[in-house]
């Protein structure tokens, strides 16, 4: 049974359609990345699954029960995007507070707090007031409280926001560790590179609709271009390859060969072999997740202007006469 499943899920805020027929399935023990601009509907989807927001139409299920079912809440961890922990708490006292809400014994709370804060790199500062923490430290603490009670599924909204590169690597490693222990992780983010590195499956949400979904490998595969390099001192037969109907772009010492619809790279390879040219590099070009995202998202973030290939001139300071 999927951990998360939605079918034709819709949410309207008055005349604004935040979600328009969203259908997703998240299998147990996987990391699922949901990409989208601010305002695309990512947080709304998560809040419906958690029972924080009511759906307008469609189906939404979490851990085999309708979204919002009270009985499953202690099996779920959640880090909202704009979390705000009381500054008078320390990391240790905050986790103790959450542990009491989850019904953990005093011994369980103490043991798990030490372990969780050690995992996220806050053990040395566990007794410092949260008001003294940096944004990255607060983010680490937020992740600790999300997995503190050993949930079956964790929802993380922008988990690496404000974290330095080393910290982001540590968080990625932590999420992989949680996954290896059987936890399912649902990650909302607009940091495409982070999602690309950790996710088993990815969905792109645009204006309340899923526009692409699949594994990272499937989404980034590009079968119509190859990069070729010959042995040093050999000239690439650009015009001969173009005569075969294959566009070529040179960026020495490499050449990009585009494969027209219905053709393969084989005629180019046969030509190189016939000309006794030595192949040193042949790689099918892949797109990045960012490339796919930019192609699929048709408009800018709500409230901003999307400039189609044009850059507005920067304002120039008026020179003193």
What separation in angstroms does the CA of 131 have from each of 26, 80, 128, 140? Answer: 36, 18, 8, 14
In the chain (321 residues long), the average pLDDT of successive 10-residue segments reads 94 93 96 89 93 95 94 92 90 94 91 91 94 91 93 91 83 90 91 85 92 86 84 94 94 90 92 94 82 70 50 51 44
Compute CA distances 93 → 62, 145, 277, whole Å.
30, 11, 69
| The pLDDT value given to residue 293 | 80
Rounded distance, CA 222 to CA 284, Å? 7
Coil, strand or helix at 155: strand
d(CA 75, CA 63): 9
CA distance 86 to 80: 15
What pLDDT was estimated at residue 302? 53
Q: Backbone phi, then psi, for 147, in 5-degree steps? A: -105, 5
Q: Sketch out the chain's domains with CATH numbers.
A: 4-214 (3.40.50.300), 222-287 (3.30.70)
């Amino acid at each position: 049974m999927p951990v998360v499943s939605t079918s034709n899920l819709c949410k309207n805020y008055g005349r604004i359609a935040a979600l328009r027929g969203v259908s997703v399935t998240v299998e147990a023990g996987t990391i699922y990345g949901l990409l989208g601009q601010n305002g695309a509907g990512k947080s709304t989807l998560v809040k419906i699954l958690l029972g924080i927001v009511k759906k307008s139409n469609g189906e939404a299920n979490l851990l085999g029960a309708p979204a919002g079912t009270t009985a499953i809440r202690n099996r779920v961890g959640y880090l909202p995007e704009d979390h705000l922990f009381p500054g008078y708490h320390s990391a240790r006292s905050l986790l103790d507070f959450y542990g009491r809400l989850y019904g953990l014994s005093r011994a369980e709370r103490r043991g798990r707090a030490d372990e969780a804060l050690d995992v996220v790199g806050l053990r040395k500062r566990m007794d410092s007031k949260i008001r003294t923490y940096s944004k990255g430290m607060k983010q680490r603490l937020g992740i600790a409280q999300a997995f503190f009670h050993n949930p079956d599924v964790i929802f993380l909204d922008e988990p690496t926001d404000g974290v330095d590169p080393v910290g982001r690597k540590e968080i990625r490693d932590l999420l992989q560790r949680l996954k290896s222990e059987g936890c399912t992780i649902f990650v909302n983010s607009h940091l495409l590179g982070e999602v690309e590195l950790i996710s088993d499956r990815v969905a792109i949400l645009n204006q309340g609709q899923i526009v692409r979904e699949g594994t990272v490998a499937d989404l980034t595969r590009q079968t119509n271009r190859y990069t070729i390099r010959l042995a040093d001192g050999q000239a690439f037969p650009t015009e001969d390859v173009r005569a075969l109907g294959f566009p070529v772009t040179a960026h020495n010492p490499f050449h990009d060969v585009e494969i027209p619809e219905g053709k393969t790279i084989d005629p180019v390879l046969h030509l190189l072999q016939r000309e006794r040219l030595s192949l040193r590099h042949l790689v099918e070009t892949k797109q990045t997740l960012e490339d796919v995202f930019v192609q699929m998202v048709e408009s800018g973030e709500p409230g901003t202007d999307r400039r189609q290939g044009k850059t507005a001139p920067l304002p120039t300071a008026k020179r003193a006469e």
